[in-house]
Structure 1
């Protein structure tokens, strides 16, 4: 999603939210149910589409290095494990546009393609290379629209539909296969750069018409196109993702259309949804792995906000709660935030100002990093019993055996409880701590130490010694 107003994986977990005051002494403890496993975790990420990578590139060398560390580094930054790229459809590469690899009509859908590749792709090739230097190797590329000449409205913006889909007739002919091959060619260009695109998506918010790059698909049309592009993507060795609906509940219709079509379901590798029209608060009705591939709070009224807890939707604690719900309520295997960096009144993790060669960091970055640094790809979410009122708790087991418990204290009181972890390391994120190690929060020995949870905070507990039970 691109809007000036920013509209509206092995580890396992279970969640309870409430809101009553804390007791003076330790409350009944958190017990991990290690036999209760939920979804696997593929990772956490954000988008670098619509020229946002160029903002970072255009900083001075020193500032660029600092921002790259903030956005990519495992130990001191956001620590993403997934990047979402934008597949261009525009005839220009000005800011907020993404240049097409075939800007002009080659002469119809059956004509020999006239693909063009600049090796830059709006800064995304450069950014991906920087990410790979830091161990990030999962890249999902998504198209917001087909080029205008492939659509019934003649432009890549303002919705419109792909020519040749059921119910869409164009004088230029049926562009479905040509569009499928166009998308796969994009992945091939990255392969030429030595970069593997793991998944490609052919639509972004197919149920939302936007004044920028956008294209409509009904659920039935989405299932239809999955069957067109699926064999082509498989032959190229690229997984197929769909459907990036505008809202989580709105995703139901797309999931059901694909799930009801055996051929479409066979070709789909990953189901994707967004969290704008409705939040991710329950699982979706599909058997494919599910990712949340875009959400950010609206910055229309908030403007640029760095606060952890100021009562605004763009606060860090609000983002932490969204990540928690996406994993623990919706069973998503990945959480992909909208933008890592942007400019102006943005809800991105980092604000970049090229005119002053400066940047600012929001508490949203530390909320994101609290999950992404410690819950690694291949983790599985596990169960939690005995969650005290006022807490949102989820637990995960990484492939290396380390266990992670994420605890959001939504109350305004300090809460003390015990937790079923051996010798955990505690990290605190709140209004005065930026994902900082806080050894004083954990006291006691054995398998159930006491942890003190600051008001309106996120406490991350990491144990390298799995407990009993």
Structure 2
């Protein structure tokens, strides 16, 4: 039977209107995906029980049962990120210092077995088989004998981390990222920003010398205000900064508005910002309503207002004893018997984002006229994805103005109080607008195929014209770090005459410029202007220009 609230939501006759302007010309962050932290299935903490004969959880999941949960997380939900919870405080991975020289690592003196490390690497391997592509260790604790004060302490801790990176690679997983510590302002692994900085300065060069491209995720702290203080110290050091690949924060115990402090640092240093741990069960500690739809609104807020490019839930799967709000999938048990799993509402609200927004998609402008309608939009090579959240109790009609984006038909998927990933009838675009009605307290995702952007379309608006030439002219001479929208048509990271020739090839009037000495017909006005632009730029940059002719037959 439907609840009174659910019936009121779906049957309300009060339908107000909202408009959303979608503009592909205004770009924000590139998305890095969605994920969760992980504990191995037989960790006693997962089911809150213990078998003294095995030293592991009393509840035992078969391989097939584990595979089913992994399928739900990485195949169906399409999570792409894994953050292992390893090792526990005082785990004994290096119970006694392997030797007195932190620059010489004796892996035979380390205990990597089970949940110290090896079982987590095996989990990553299984997730990777299902599409996960981003994983990093974030140690919960350190060995009791380790200090966090002196240069030697930093060197020993660096060696400890190096051993884990090395062991992971030996087992087939080269870590793209690494966190120095999980929540370094928390009591289990407390350390200062200065200490983290010194560890990165010590370990970064050593990883490179050993052939690893692993970058640091930092500071991965319990709250943004503490994280920003530590990150400022780390990033102020030019040596440490070159090894940092992303800034990361959790959201516990303070207003989400403090994420702005981390965003300011991310903007200053040109780094992606990740939210690497939080849960609907802790929303109250951040002054937010504690429910699954508020989690969806928080995801929107992080992505839209703070340019967060990755969002990770606390647990992907965990025992039901801890409560459904802390995990996307609850693992059910009666004593030692495993009773299957439950897909919680946060699983479905997360999926309205994670199933459709692939790593590499760019967030574009999606401005709503109604504060109660939260919208974000994402552009990839072949798809436009719109995510709309109606936070009010009444239904709302939403009209998306697509501003010339050549989408024709949108698939629709919705989660509401009574729906989980409901597939709705598709909607055709009329002119340049798309209109749909969203029930109250619902999240809907719209997905449309779009044509690929051709190489000469530097403005990425599906039109080849003088605006693209202007972008190429502005970017001309950029070397080593140019983007496509700066005029790099051939993907070699610089902007030169070769990119101009690609633009001319793609020009809508059919004129192609070819490097040759043969005689040619009269060029079009735009092509003639383009040649003059190229000649002037080449002369100003003291670079040779290619010799060109016109061929009215497109290549």
TM-score, normalised to structure 2, is 0.67
1:105 is matched with which residue: 85, 97, 101?
97
Aligned mates of 1:185, 1:61 — CA distance in 2: 29
Stretches of structure 1 lacking an aligned partner (at least 5 in a row): 1-21, 92-98, 152-161, 166-173, 303-311
Q: Say if 1:89 and 1:356 are closer, same or farther in 2 by CA, change over 3 A.
A: closer
Q: How many residues align?
A: 406
1:324 is matched with which residue: 300, 303, 311?
300
Aligned mates of 1:463, 1:79 — CA distance in 2: 18
Aligned mates of 1:250, 1:345 — CA distance in 2: 27
CA contact (8 A) 1:223 1:257 kept: yes
Task: Say whether 1:454 aligns with 2:446.
Answer: no
Aligned mates of 1:392, 1:141 — CA distance in 2: 33
Counterpart secondary structure, 1:175: helix
CA contact (8 A) 2:14 2:394 kept: no
Aligned mates of 2:351, 2:43 — CA distance in 1: 19
Aligned mates of 1:444, 1:267 — CA distance in 2: 46
1:364 is matched with which residue: 346, 360, 368?
346
Task: Say whether 1:72 aligns with 2:74.
Answer: yes
Task: Say whether 1:148 aligns with 2:134.
Answer: no
Q: Which residue of 2 aligns with 1:217?
A: 191
CA contact (8 A) 2:378 2:386 kept: yes
CA contact (8 A) 1:181 1:229 kept: yes
Q: Which residue of 1 aligns with 2:85?
A: 86
Task: Say whether 1:49 aligns with 2:7.
Answer: no
Task: Give the deviation of 1:140 after TM superposition.
Answer: 1.1
CA contact (8 A) 2:221 2:227 kept: yes
Task: Say whether 1:403 aligns with 2:384.
Answer: yes
Counterpart secondary structure, 1:197: coil
Counterpart secondary structure, 2:145: helix
1:445 is matched with which residue: 423, 430, 450?
430
After TM superposition, the structure 1 = structure 2 runs for residues 22-37 of structure 1, keeping only pairs within 5 Å, are 27-37=17-27
Task: Give the deviation of 1:294 after TM superposition.
Answer: 0.9
Task: Give the deviation of 1:235 after TM superposition.
Answer: 2.8
Q: Say if 1:331 and 1:85 are closer, same or farther in 2 by CA, change over 3 A.
A: same
TM-score, normalised to structure 1, is 0.78
Please give the per-residue CA displacement for 1:31-60, whole angstroms capped at 9, x wherever unaligned.
211111111111111011376778599323
Q: Which residue of 1 aligns with 2:277?
A: 294
Q: Which moved more, 1:339-348 or 1:291-300?
A: 291-300
CA contact (8 A) 1:39 1:380 kept: yes
Aligned mates of 2:390, 2:15 — CA distance in 1: 16
Stretches of structure 2 lacking an aligned partner (at least 5 in a row): 1-11, 48-58, 452-460, 464-555
Q: Which residue of 2 aligns with 1:227?
A: 201
Larger helix fraction of residues:
2
CA contact (8 A) 1:87 1:100 kept: no
Q: Which residue of 2 aligns with 1:155?
A: none
Please give the per-residue CA displacement for 1:61-96, whole angstroms capped at 9, x wherever unaligned.
5533332222221xxx321111012342545xxxxx
Task: Say whether 1:189 aligns with 2:167.
Answer: yes
Task: Give the deviation of 1:407 after TM superposition.
Answer: 0.8
After TM superposition, the structure 1 = structure 2 runs for residues 231-246 of structure 1, keeping only pairs within 5 Å, are 231-236=205-210, 237=212, 238-246=214-222
